[in-house]
Amino acid sequence: MESLRNDKQRRILMRFFKTGPGEYGEGDEFLGLKVPQTREVVKLVGTDFPLSEIPQLLMCRWHEVRLCGFLILVSKFEKLATKRLVNNDDAIRARDEILTLYLQYAEQANNWDLVDLSVHKILGHWLLLPSHLGDRDYKLKVLDTLAQSPCLWKQRMSIVCSWKTSQMGDPSWCLRYAEIHLHHPHDLMHKAVGWMLREMGKRVSEDLLREFLRQHAHHMPRTTLRYAIEKLPEQERQYWMAVSKP
């Protein structure tokens, strides 16, 4: 990956991901690789890449190398989550091991792209699959721990993981953590919550989205509201924006 370094692209990415003093990505270092290039590396090493060596990638100074590590975990998890293997005992144990490693190094997903490209495909999918680690109450505790963390990226994980649960027809995770994070102070969380509400409405039920809006639209951040209603009819969008506080 270091041999693919592109200094021009590196400067662009460092601005885009807000790596300057006081910004949310302060101090992050880039090689200048685009995501498709990183995905090609993931394909090259394959799902047989040893799990024991992934922490070395996740602890790397380079943003793209950390992304590569997380995407290898995604590939491994998805291979073990096919219909044929959902209830296979060995696959369950292997998925739990990947999930545990992912959570152990969660703070290394220290920008929104690292979270958004991995969390729903690992943590989000795991929430709806059999696990030897615990039942739904245990899974709620895992997400509550992330949601209550002082780390912005762990907080984002707790809501963005619901992208997968909504895709699989379960709105409960999105609704719970959207409400928990509704008044979060950071704009990145306003966007994440609105995005996940929109996805829940699209994948599960627009009526559930409308019910959430009836309860919360008058006091939710306008950025969150704009993201949440993006796929609703124009006239209805105008109505909800008028309901919210200016």
Measured CA distances, 51 to 42, 57, 131 (Å): 13, 11, 19
Per-residue pLDDT reduced to its tens digit, 6-20 = 999 999 999 999 999
Per-residue pLDDT reduced to its tens digit, 114-150 = 999 999 999 999 999 999 999 999 999 999 999 999 9
Q: Report the pLDDT averaged over residues 40-52.
A: 93
- Residue showing tokens 């943590």: 123
Q: Report the pLDDT averaged over residues 204-214.
A: 98
Q: Is the pLDDT of residue 219 over 80?
A: yes
Q: What is the pLDDT of residue 46?
A: 83
